[in-house]
A and B are shown apart, each in its own frame.
Chain A
Amino acid sequence: MHGPDIRWYVILAALLFSTGALGVMLRRSPLVILLSVEIMLNSANLLLIAFSRLHGREDGQIFAISVMAVAASEVVVGLGLIVAMGRRGVELDVDKLRTLRG
């Protein structure tokens, strides 16, 4: 394998994952939270593919493709919920959606 070895990829994936986690925790707009979840899923994908290259087997790439499909489904349902909220005139702010809070 030319270039950086696996540790560089692991550290990059860790940085990306914590950036996405920061976005989920800090932002109030559900749209940006969904975008940050995409960053977290993609950092997991990067790790899967890096380790599949390390071990010389493609199973990690199969898993990464499945993660992509799950991410697409999650976006469909999440955006459907956000559009439903937008149509009903609910303010798009996760701090103000507290009906389910005990």
Chain B
Amino acid sequence: MADFLVWVVWFGAAFACLSSALAVVSFRNPFYSALALIGNLASLAVLFLLLSGEFVAAGQVLVYGGAVMVMFLFVIAYLGDRSDDSPWSGGPTWQIVGAVLAGGAILAEVVVVVGLEAGGFLGHARRVDRGFGSPEAIGRLFLTDHLLAFEVTSIVLLVAAVGGVVLGSHARTFETPGEHDARA
């Protein structure tokens, strides 16, 4: 019974995941694309929970669904309505044909590898205890085995924050009054 319920939840989450990903790619308005991506991230968090990654699922909802997507929505709202054409409108061009072929090639590659069982490595999952993926276990690993990754991640975030400030403040100095009038 528990197995059946997990299958139902899995199919629901997987369907929501794929359909919202397709929606991100095909909506004309970037605002709707960003809203669809929030659904994609939420359904991925459900899949993470099924894989007993509780801490990662919580981080996914807080960091991605919260912080990153709010930033996206603010920027899209700041830039105003700049919808471009839907990629599916106006007949197939060589660009669309090439892109679909390349995407299909990636998909076929992975499916062939899985079909060949990847050398027998895709066996049965090991049994894990209740603490697997809990904040305690993740925090312990971060501060013992993966301390370097932890520190490097903090430096990456710091560099990105400095980069964001630099990019945001320089844009104003490029504009001289004459240039602005000429454009207006």
Q: Whole-angstrom distance between the alpha carbons of A18 and B101 in the complex?
A: 10
Interface residues of A, count at CB 8 A: 75
Chain B: minimal CB distance from A90 (Å): 11
Interface string of B124-137 (1 = CB under 8 A from A): 11111000110001
Chain B: minimal CB distance from A99 (Å): 15
Provide the residues of chain B in CB contact with A46, threshold 8 Å.
44, 47-48
Inter-subunit contact B84/A86 (CB<8 Å): no
Chain B: minimal CB distance from A54 (Å): 5
Inter-subunit contact B40/A39 (CB<8 Å): yes
The dominant DSSP class at the B interface is helix
Provide the residues of chain B in CB contact with A28, threshold 8 Å.
84-85
Provide the residues of chain B in CB contact with A53, threshold 8 Å.
51-53, 125, 128, 132
Is A101's beta carbon under 8 Å from chain B?
Answer: no
Provide the residues of chain A in CB contact with B55, threshold 8 Å.
61, 65
Inter-subunit contact B25/A68 (CB<8 Å): no
Q: Whole-angstrom distance between the alpha carbons of A77 and B100 in the complex?
A: 28
List 16 interface pairs A-B (beta carbons < 8 Å), by A numbering.
Answer: A2-B2, A16-B17, A26-B25, A31-B34, A31-B76, A32-B33, A53-B52, A56-B127, A58-B132, A58-B141, A62-B141, A68-B59, A69-B156, A73-B159, A83-B167, A92-B84
A21-75 residues at the B interface, CB under 8 angstroms: 21-23, 25-29, 31-32, 34-36, 38-39, 42, 45-46, 49-50, 52-56, 58-59, 61-66, 68-75
